Amino acid sequence: MRILGVDPGLEITGYGVIEAGNRQIKLVEAGVIKTSYKQKLQDRLIEIYDGLIEVIKETLPEIAVIEKIYSHYKHPTTAILMGHTRGVVYLAIRKSNITLFECPAKTVKKSLTGNGNASKEQVARMVQAYLNLKRIPQPLDISDALALAMSHAFKK
């Protein structure tokens, strides 16, 4: 089964596609979609949408996984901007007829490291180990996206 993990961000949206089956996980593709703060919001959102559609067309995932939203009440502007980005990701996935799952960050961390409070770096090291990568994917938005996909694969 091919699984797409997406770590949405307005500046950097990380994505990772894995192939999971027969108790094995293999990396298909991973990367980021970057936008510039100098662009208008609507242009940034279109860039994220178009980039994700391109990834989906190239990799043909059957399932997509996104982190369940969490926002601190002290940062309402960040939450609103994240909502815009997540909406574009949801739209791209739905328009591509892919089943979408949400997964809490603690669940992802626990499934990869055994600790729901693991750091981003600990998760990234486990992604590296599971996928037999020579180095940790950078930026960490990539390993976060791969961790989402891998966590879903581990549930099966």
Q: What is the pLDDT of residues 12-35, one digit of tens each?
A: 999 999 999 888 999 999 999 999
> Are the C-beta atoms of 119 and 13 separated by less than 8 Å?
no
The segments of the chain whose pLDDT lies below 70 read 70-75, 156
3-class SS at 103? strand
**Average pLDDT of the chain to the nearest whole number:** 93
Q: Where are the beta strands (DSSP E) in 22-138?
A: 24-34, 63-67, 99-103
Supply the pLDDT for residue 69.
Answer: 76
Supply the pLDDT for residue 75.
Answer: 67
Supply the pLDDT for residue 70.
Answer: 66
- For residues 116 and 144, what is the distance between their CA atoms, to the nearest angstrom? 14
As a whole-number percent, the residues of the chain with pLDDT over 90 amount to 85
First to last CA, the chain: 10
Supply the pLDDT for residue 80.
Answer: 82
> Are the C-beta atoms of 66 and 8 separated by less than 8 Å?
yes
Domain ranges of the chain: 2-155
Region 2-155: CATH code: 3.30.420.10
3-class SS at 114? coil
Sign of the alpha-carbon torsion through 142, 144, 147, 151? negative
Q: Which residues are catalytic?
A: 7, 67, 141
